[in-house]
């Protein structure tokens, strides 16, 4: 099996299993209790929080550990809501865990602006300038598109926020960027940044939210007051430490270069096949969109699955819905959207694996075309 749906999830590092065993069966103590062992766990979590802040190159703030990126995004947005005559700004390209929250806000009567995407797949900064003002409470724009790999300019967006909407909170869904794309928090004005473990070879069930100023974030539910009162509930020490282990293993710079090479290798083979179009948004090397003219993307997905190659149709959170909202927002033709497939890589795939996958993709497409023509 060759797994090319790494934007959906990744295979967990085997090292995480040992970490899980250690903090579930040996050092299993509740960080909120008063025993020496528990207080040691609390110290470990505090040190791990500082580790993540350093990884993000943040000079201030905190990290709140959550159960998933959807929770991180919801906590960031809903925790930033305030009563009064405020406005909220989102891009059209957001993941469902942000976009659907924005739609709910709009239905509930809030003034919500959706900023369109350019043909390059990034948020239209020209339009963004026109909607930002003194009443803007929240701006939520993702780092890297989970559908296309397009990368938003967070530095430029930060400048616009500081100049045009100084009272606004800037939230970034960084799930597809964290530990993959070169990034420094200190170079931006980001207030909230979501990131997840299972996208970087960690376990499912743990994620993070960088918070520049925790006093500006309301709690969503009440409990024991853990994590500065922002996210009550006993921390999953085992999951958090597995998350840390993944970050310790990964080398973003080396991985970025490695994935760039295998992406080029894959595309060189696939692009030679008549009828295949690569939607290259010059963004993350981890994500690629392919169009197979005359064949439905879902047909390609199932046929490839039978040959041992797993690809995706876009976000797993909306894979069962018809169409592709992000490609539509970019202006991709409907017939191309129907024929689209998302391929996403990880840095541990070999050249041989990628070459074999590309050849199978080419063979499967040719075979289907011959049978339907």
Tokens of 356: 């074999």
Of 231, 249, 267, the residue at which a domain comes to its end is 249
Q: Is the pLDDT of residue 220 over 60?
A: yes
Q: What is the spatial distance between Cα 313 and Cα 324, in angstroms, rounded to a whole number?
A: 8
244 with 255, same domain? no
Looking up residue 349, the CATH number of its domain turns out to be 3.90.1150.10
192 with 261, same domain? no
180 with 108, same domain? yes
Q: What is the pTM of this model?
A: 0.95
Give DSSP secondary structure letters for 171-234. EEE-TTTTTTS---GGGS--SEEEEESTTTT--TT-EEEEES-GGGS--SS-SS-TGGGTS-S-
38 with 165, same domain? yes
277 with 233, same domain? no
Give me the number of domains the chain comprises. Answer: 2
| Closest C-alpha to 170, from 201, 137, 195, 203 | 137
268 with 127, same domain? no
Q: Is the pLDDT of residue 251 over 70?
A: yes
Reported confidence tier of residue 321, pLDDT bands at 50, 70, 90: low
Q: Is the pLDDT of residue 319 over 60?
A: no
pLDDT digits (tens, 9 = 90+) for 84-95: 899 999 999 999
Q: Is the pLDDT of residue 177 over 90?
A: yes
Q: What is the spatial distance between Cα 332 and Cα 19, in angstroms, rounded to a whole number?
A: 44
Which H, E and C letters describe 11-51, residue by residue?
CCCCHHHHHHHHHHHHCCCCCCCCCHHHHHHHHHHHHHHHH
Of 195, 222, 249, the residue at which a domain comes to its end is 249
Q: Are 344 and 8 in contact (CB under 8 A)?
A: yes
Q: What is the pLDDT averaged over residues 105-130?
A: 96
- What residues make up the domain containing 213? 15-249
| Closest C-alpha to 131, from 119, 122, 121, 123 | 123
Per-residue pLDDT, 323: 62
Q: Are 289 and 327 in contact (CB under 8 A)?
A: yes
Provide φ and ψ at 89, rounded to 5°.
-120, 130
240 with 308, same domain? no
Q: What is the pLDDT averaged over residues 142-163?
A: 97
Reported confidence tier of residue 269, pLDDT bands at 50, 70, 90: very high
Looking up residue 82, the CATH number of its domain turns out to be 3.40.640.10
116 with 127, same domain? yes
56 with 176, same domain? yes
296 with 205, same domain? no
Per-residue pLDDT, 322: 53
40 with 107, same domain? yes
Of 249, 271, 294, the residue at which a domain comes to its end is 249
**Enclosing H/E stretch for 342:** strand 340-344
Q: What does DSSP assign to residue 346?
A: -
245 with 271, same domain? no
Q: Is the pLDDT of residue 318 over 50?
A: no
């Amino acid at each position: 099996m060759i797994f090319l749906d790494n934007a959906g999830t990744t295979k967990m590092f085997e090292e995480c299993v040992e970490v899980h065993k250690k903090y579930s069966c040996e050092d299993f103590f509740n960080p909120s209790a008063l025993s020496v062992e528990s207080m040691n766990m609390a110290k470990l979590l505090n040190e791990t929080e500082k580790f993540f802040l350093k990884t993000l190159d943040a000079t201030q703030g905190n990290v709140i550990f959550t159960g998933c990126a959807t929770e991180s995004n919801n906590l960031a947005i809903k925790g930033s809501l305030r009563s009064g005559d405020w406005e909220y700004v989102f891009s059209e390209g957001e993941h469902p865990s942000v976009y659907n929250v924005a739609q709910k806000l709009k239905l509930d009567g809030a003034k919500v602006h959706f900023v369109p995407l350019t043909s390059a797949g990034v948020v239209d900064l020209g339009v963004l300038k026109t909607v930002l003002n003194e009443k803007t409470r929240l701006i939520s724009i993702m780092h890297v598109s989970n559908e296309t790999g397009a990368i938003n300019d967070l530095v430029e967006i930060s400048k616009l926020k500081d100049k045009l909407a100084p009272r606004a909170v800037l939230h970034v869904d960084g799930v597809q960027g964290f530990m993959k794309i070169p990034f420094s928090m200190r170079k931006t004005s980001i207030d909230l940044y979501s990131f997840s473990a299972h996208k970087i070879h960690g376990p499912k069930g743990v994620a993070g939210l960088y918070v520049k100023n925790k006093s500006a974030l309301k709690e969503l539910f009440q409990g024991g007051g853990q994590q500065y009162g922002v996210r009550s509930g006993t921390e999953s020490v085992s999951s958090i430490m597995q998350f840390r282990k993944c970050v310790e293993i990964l080398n973003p710079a080396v991985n970025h270069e490695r994935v760039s090479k295998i992406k080029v290798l894959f595309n060189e083979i696939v692009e030679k096949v008549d009828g295949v179009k690569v939607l290259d948004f010059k963004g993350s090397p981890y994500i690629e969109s392919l169009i197979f003219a005359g064949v439905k993307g879902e047909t390609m997905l199932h046929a490839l699955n039978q040959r041992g190659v797993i690809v995706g149709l876009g976000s797993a959170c909306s894979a069962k819905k018809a169409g592709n909202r992000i490609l539509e927002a970019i202006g991709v033709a409907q017939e191309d959207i129907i024929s689209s497939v998302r391929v996403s890589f990880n840095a541990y795939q070999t050249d041989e694996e990628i070459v074999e996958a590309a050849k199978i993709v080419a063979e499967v497409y040719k075979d289907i075309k011959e049978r339907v023509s």
